[in-house]
A and B are shown apart, each in its own frame.
Chain A
């Protein structure tokens, strides 16, 4: 492997010239496509993780990459998250662009130190950049139980120096993963497992990069629902139960950096906000959004800042129990109705 950046090589990605064509892909296929395109584009990019090689990963996110790029660039590792993440930090310091897959986001706890103490603090302390991506298959909704369902993004929001993104659509999954790979910093990429095969959409072929900013996915004048990841889809479903033009839905997409201006602009216009997290309620991403609105949009509010999130318990296994703790479209609808009537 050498460090030649093939970004300028014509035709390397098949999309040079005209506006790129699109193809319908699942959220999961879009992730694989991003990895393939970025690995073709830049030889410094490689992936590593448990079972990501010939097997293609526990969720098949790396399927086909081993055959195309070989064992050096699609590395199977021992079950050792601290070493997966720690060696990625080292490879990044030495000029490569590692993309590590943590098999389930829950398991990242065993590699926490390398992320929050080594990678996150490195640039501020030393001026050394750590360009790496941590892919974190996260979220519940399919009886994964307490160790295969978590949404740990807030852990990393609280650790300075880490970027944290959580796309909701296939196009964003591809574009934001590409942006994460090209970023010069450690990026925690939360990919929601429950979206992997359920969600399909048009995805640009070839190079596609999405910035780490929020996006308004539905416009409205009376209430803003703020969500991201899998909750975005429930928020859109709930908003659709009201007359057009009443409920706005803002997809955060990025949690660090948090698109504060987009949040404030929407809430200042609608005057009411409902913030939805799939994560446990205390200190979740939504708590930061709520604090932001209370601090900087207080005089524009026409109602209380409302939040919906999972209660502060682990995610249960049995489907009935799991449904009891995760936010649903019905609960979002109910909270939205209360706020609209406030």
Chain B
């Protein structure tokens, strides 16, 4: 049973510490050298709305699964919403996500992926994202610069390094953002990707979501040295950030992106958090001490941010109402949509036409609009 806090607060490693704090002996300039990005009140409201959107969707997803309407399985990232939302919010429209993983629904929402299509995908209905060929978390909208994940981890990290290499070779000002969990830092492919990225200084932003558990196996049984502390050995900074603080995640990933765009190479941002539910809806996670979960519940990323924004004058109840209305409409539309045509299960194995480039995603952070208006960079 996991009873020990995987990330116990210490004076040196306190969750909630200022973002962008590098681990020891970083390679290259520390992230603090970059001026911190400004979040407007509208940005902050958007961050809250995206996190609430992820949680509300996933709560409904669990219900649909338990009602037997969703085939296969369902996975949620309850308590981890700040990571995909904060990280993706720092991406420009031409940046690619390769790839949002199991607990990263919020990343798809930031990019503007159609909610009804996502629900159709989960339900195994015909849909524009996967045509029913894939389920649960295996989706992404290439039209919005998102490459869908595969189950073998961290395979898409390796692929992201290759995408970043293409950007560098063509002299394009864009980055690849990749996500993986603490469990994905054990396979050999992780080492190969870290080594390639550091060696060639590829413009890749690496977000490690350390939630303390690889399915049922705690970090203490996975590795001795944390992912962030391993990063300098590959020639890149490892930055530890409070994964339950959406603005801290945003700032750390923004700094990592700036560093990549400047040609200084990759950064590994280790966002520390706690997995609050089972690995999937089939897993009751009885191997986690309820007392430990209670400690982390006090640090819920949405509840704490809501309190902050309420004080700042934002109508958080209106945010929740908007999210719920959108979700209800999307679920209704998805449930009314047809199943895929079985006669088409085998088509499209091979590409027969010149590939279509990945599209541009939404980049809601106000800073990108400001950069564009002064003819600046960031795109």
Contacts and interface: CB of A to CB of B under 8 A. Distances in A.
Contacts of A16: none
A125 B192 contact: no
A126 B142 contact: yes
B350 A161 contact: yes
Contacts of A89: 158-159, 162
Given A80-B196, A96-B166, A128 B355 contact: yes
A95 interface: yes
A50 B134 CA distance: 35
Given A72-B169, A124-B348, A184-B355, A114 B163 contact: no
Nearest to A80: B192
A2 B195 CA distance: 26
A84 to B, nearest CB: 9
Given A1-B169, A94-B358, A126-B130, A131 B351 contact: yes
Given A83-B189, A83-B192, A83-B193, A90 B349 contact: no
B170 A3 contact: yes
A88 interface: yes
Interface string B127-171: 000100110001010100001101110011011111111110111
B98 interface: yes
A24 B65 CA distance: 65
Given A114-B155, A123-B349, A93 B147 contact: yes
Given A78-B195, A90-B160, A129-B351, A118 B166 contact: no
Interface residues of A, number: 41
Contacts of A1: 169-171
B193 A86 contact: yes
Contacts of B349: 123-124, 160-161
A168 to B, nearest CB: 24
A130 B150 CA distance: 15
Contact of B189 (A86, A91, A124, A130): A86
Contact of A91 (B166, B171, B350, B351): B166
Contacts of A126: 130, 134, 140, 142, 147-148
A187 B353 CA distance: 15
Contacts of A96: 166, 169
A78 B196 contact: yes
Interface string B310-330: 000000000000000000000
B166 A86 contact: no
Given A125-B130, A126-B140, A131-B351, 20 more contacts: A1-B169, A2-B170, A78-B192, A86-B159, A86-B189, A87-B162, A90-B158, A90-B176, A93-B163, A94-B166, A114-B159, A117-B151, A118-B156, A121-B150, A125-B133, A129-B351, A130-B351, A131-B355, A160-B349, A184-B350
Interface of A: 1-3, 46, 72, 77-78, 80, 82-83, 86-96, 98, 113-114, 117-118, 121, 123-131, 160-161, 163, 184-185
